[in-house]
């Protein structure tokens, strides 16, 4: 099976896990990235990208009514793009930063796009509800149940198509950019792995900025910092 | 497991699939109760009435939703047994429990437990270790599966005193885990700062402080998504210009 097809199938399954209430959280970027890496034969690389993407949204809390970025599909996209493109470029370290930047950036955009699509879907699925209600009124509750379960197919297909399209197009795009730009000029971008986690710290700080918890945040910071200094 | 109705329980794992912005998970709630309608109503007309009654607005934390389903099933069964329970009473209990479960469940799972697990996972991930991922999945699912199953059973069997123990226990553990989550977040921040300093010197450290401050300030006006996009692009620009 083609690696892109395999990753698309994995990602669409994770999209179903995320959008139904199975809620085992294997679709979170940190585990989604690892699983994508596993499918592509490089679990360590997949885990690295998934964890990096996760760190960006570490203090992200799903608040009801708020537009929710589609992190699982984004993470699988980013991981697959990084692994496949970097492999396609022969693993040349000069391109690592560039590939990392574009993979993460496209992953963020896919997450945002997914959030917008699902906002629209929640409006449109009202019609599905009225259809189900009409079925019940006509004495066919089984059809209403079938309509409810059929939405799983939508989640699966959405994830599958997005991944198939974005990974195929994104990979060609990054390869084209990489070959047209000299790798050496973008080499410092590989240090993104050092700076990106600060985004997550900002979100975490805001999350724990309450009377009861900010003390423990400070305590954790100080204790760990002293530990790192002592340990060298 | 005594008391669990498996033919109904598996449906709880798909309750949010058809979410819409008017009745939220109303269709999902209907789907969970669907196998019971034949038992609760003899003729076709009454069955339709019962089905429509359980097809209205439903908005609850999905992990605590089994508890509410259990309570509603319990009330319907007791009514079937001859107790004087009205449609209104069932509706009120359902709505009240939904509000409570949303508050308690969202804070416990989404604000405390998930960030705690993910922070631990991220700390280990910086060292390239999978242990954190295993801890995150084990910690979260320990609570998740337990609350789902026990909530459903409590709802089905008790009803009177509606799961006071369950909510009290979650509240008690929420404080402890909340402190742990904040401590782990602080440890993660220290790790990221010391790593950035080691790899890029004072410049990276200062950039980090600026990025954290920017996120805290931007988040007042912008969504998570836009905050992440802006600071991510700023980080890339900083590295290119360095």
> Could you give the percent of chain B with pLDDT greater than 90?
72
Read off the pLDDT of each residue in B67-95 and give the average, rounded to a whole number.
92
pLDDT at A81 over 90: yes
| Cβ pair A202:B185 closer than 8 A | no
pLDDT of residue B6: 82
| Cβ pair B187:A141 closer than 8 A | no
Contact at 8 Å (CB) between B71 and B97?
A: yes
Provide DSSP, B39-70.
HH-SSHHHHHHHHHHTTS-B---TTTHHHHHH
What the block records as the tokens of B77 is 């069964």
Q: How far is B150 from B131, CA to CA, in rounded Å?
A: 28
pLDDT at B110 over 70: yes
Q: Which of B137, B37, B47 is nearest to B77 (CA)?
A: B37
Q: How far is B58 from A151, CA to CA, in rounded Å?
A: 17
Cα Rg of chain B, angstroms: 23
Provide DSSP, A164-230.
HHHHHHHHHHHHHHHHHS-GGGGGGGGGHHHHTHHHHHHHHHHHT-STTTHHHHHHHHHHHHHHHHH
* Beta-carbon count within 10 A of A46 CB: 27
pLDDT band at B16; cut points 50, 70, 90:
very high
| Residue to test with chain A: of B44, B50, B69, B118, most A Cβ within 10 A | B118
pLDDT band at B153; cut points 50, 70, 90:
confident
What the block records as the tokens of A73 is 């599909």
Scan residues 76-95 of B and list those with Cβ closer than 8 Å to A. Answer: none
pLDDT digits (tens, 9 = 90+) for B194-203: 999 999 999 9
pLDDT at B162 over 60: no
pLDDT band at B1; cut points 50, 70, 90:
very low
Scan residues 139-178 of B and list those with Cβ closer than 8 Å to A. Answer: 140-141, 144, 175, 178
What the block records as the tokens of A53 is 């993407």
pLDDT digits (tens, 9 = 90+) for B209-219: 999 999 999 99
Contact at 8 Å (CB) between B120 and B184?
A: yes
Arithmetic mean of pLDDT over chain B: 90
Q: Is the dihedral of CA A214, A216, A218, A220 positive or negative?
A: negative
pLDDT at B3 over 90: no
CA distance A6 to chain B (A): 23
pLDDT at A63 over 70: no
pLDDT at A43 over 50: yes
Q: How far is B169 from B163, CA to CA, in rounded Å?
A: 10
pLDDT of residue A61: 82
Which chain A residues are Cβ-neighbours of B204 within 8 angstroms? 191, 194-195
Which of A30, A56, A224 is facing B121, going by the closest CB pair?
A30
Which chain A residues are Cβ-neighbours of B31 within 8 angstroms? 144-145, 148-149
* Cβ density class A121-144: b for 16+ within 10 Å, e for less: bbeebeebbeebbebbeeeebeeb
Helix (H) or strand (E) holding B28, with range, is helix B26-33
Read off the pLDDT of each residue in B213-227 and give the average, rounded to a whole number.
93
The answer, for A2 touching chain B at a CB cutoff of 8 Å, is no
pLDDT band at B2; cut points 50, 70, 90:
very low
pLDDT of residue B161: 60
Name beta bridge partners: B24. B20, B58
Q: How far is B134 from A160, CA to CA, in rounded Å?
A: 27
The answer, for B48 touching chain A at a CB cutoff of 8 Å, is yes
Q: Which of B69, B214, B201 is nearest to B148 (CA)?
A: B69
pLDDT at A188 over 90: no
pLDDT digits (tens, 9 = 90+) for A105-155: 999 999 999 999 999 999 999 999 999 999 999 999 999 999 999 999 999
Contact at 8 Å (CB) between A171 and A30?
A: no
Please state which of the ranges A65-79, A114-128, B114-128, B137-151 shows the lowest mean pLDDT.
A65-79
Read off the pLDDT of each residue in B234-241 and give the average, rounded to a whole number.
93
Start-to-end C-alpha separation, chain A:
47
Name beta bridge partners: B58. B24
CA distance A182 to chain B (A): 13
B129: left (phi over 0), alpha (psi -120 to 50) or beta: beta
Is the confidence metric ipTM above 0.90 for this complex?
A: yes
Cα Rg of chain A, angstroms: 21
pLDDT at B167 over 80: no
Name beta bridge partners: A20. none
| Residue to test with chain B: of A221, A222, A223, A230, most B Cβ within 10 A | A221
- Give pTM, 2 decimals: 0.94
Give me the helix-helix angle, A197-207 and B114-126, nearest 10°. 150
pLDDT digits (tens, 9 = 90+) for B29-58: 999 999 999 889 888 888 999 999 999 999
Which of B122, B185, B228 is facing A217, going by the closest CB pair?
B185
Contact at 8 Å (CB) between A17 and A24?
A: yes
Helices marked H in B106-241 = 114-126, 131-157, 164-218, 224-241
pLDDT of residue A64: 64
pLDDT of residue A68: 79
pLDDT band at A17; cut points 50, 70, 90:
very high
* Beta-carbon count within 10 A of B219 CB: 18
Q: How far is B55 from B31, CA to CA, in rounded Å?
A: 9
Max Cα-Cα span within chain A:
73
């Amino acid at each position: 099976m083609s690696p892109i097809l395999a990753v698309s199938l994995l990602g669409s399954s994770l999209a179903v896990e995320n959008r139904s209430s199975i809620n085992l959280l294997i679709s979170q970027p940190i585990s989604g990235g690892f699983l994508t890496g596993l499918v592509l034969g490089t679990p360590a690389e997949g885990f690295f990208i998934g964890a990096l993407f996760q760190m960006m949204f570490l203090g992200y809390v799903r608040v009801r009514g708020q537009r929710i970025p589609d992190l699982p599909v984004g993470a699988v996209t980013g991981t697959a793009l990084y692994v496949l493109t970097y492999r396609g470029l022969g693993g040349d370290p000069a391109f690592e930063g560039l590939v990392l930047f574009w993979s993460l950036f496209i992953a963020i955009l896919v997450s945002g796009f997914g959030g917008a699509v699902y906002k629209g879907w929640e409006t449109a699925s009202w019609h599905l509800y009225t259809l189900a209600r009409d079925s019940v009124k006509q004495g066919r509750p089984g059809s209403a149940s079938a309509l409810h379960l059929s939405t799983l197919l939508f989640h699966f297909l959405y994830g599958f198509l997005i991944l198939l399209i974005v990974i195929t197009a994104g990979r060609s795009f990054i390869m084209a950019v990489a070959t047209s730009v000299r790798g050496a000029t973008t080499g410092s971008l590989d240090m993104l792995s050092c700076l990106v986690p600060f985004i997550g710290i900002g979100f975490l700080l805001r999350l724990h900025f309450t009377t009861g918890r900010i003390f423990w945040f400070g305590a954790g910071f100080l204790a760990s910092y002293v530990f790192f200094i002592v340990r060298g | 497991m005594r008391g669990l109705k498996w033919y109904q329980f598996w449906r709880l794992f798909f309750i949010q699939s058809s979410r819409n912005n008017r009745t939220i998970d109303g269709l999902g709630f209907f789907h969970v109760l669907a196998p019971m309608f034949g038992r609760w109503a003899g003729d076709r007309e009454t069955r339709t009435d019962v089905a429509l009654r359980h097809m209205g607005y439903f908005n609850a934390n999905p992990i605590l939703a089994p508890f509410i389903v259990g309570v509603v099933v319990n009330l319907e069964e007791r009514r079937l047994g001859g107790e004087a329970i009205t449609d209104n009473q069932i509706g009120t209990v359902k709505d009240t429990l939904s509000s409570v479960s949303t508050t308690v469940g969202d804070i416990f799972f989404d604000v405390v437990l998930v960030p705690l697990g993910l922070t631990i996972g991220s700390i280990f991930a910086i060292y390239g270790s999978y242990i954190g991922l295993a801890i995150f999945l084990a910690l979260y699912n320990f609570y998740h599966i337990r609350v789902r199953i026990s909530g459903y059973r409590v709802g089905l069997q008790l009803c009177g005193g509606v799961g006071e123990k369950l909510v009290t226990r979650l509240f008690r553990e929420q404080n402890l885990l909340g402190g742990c989550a904040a401590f782990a977040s602080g440890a993660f921040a220290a790790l990221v700062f010391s790593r950035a300093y080691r790899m890029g010197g004072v410049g990276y450290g200062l950039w980090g402080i600026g990025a954290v401050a920017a996120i805290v300030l931007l988040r007042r006006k912008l969504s998570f998504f836009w905050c992440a996009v802006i600071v991510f692009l700023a980080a890339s620009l900083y590295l290119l210009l360095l």
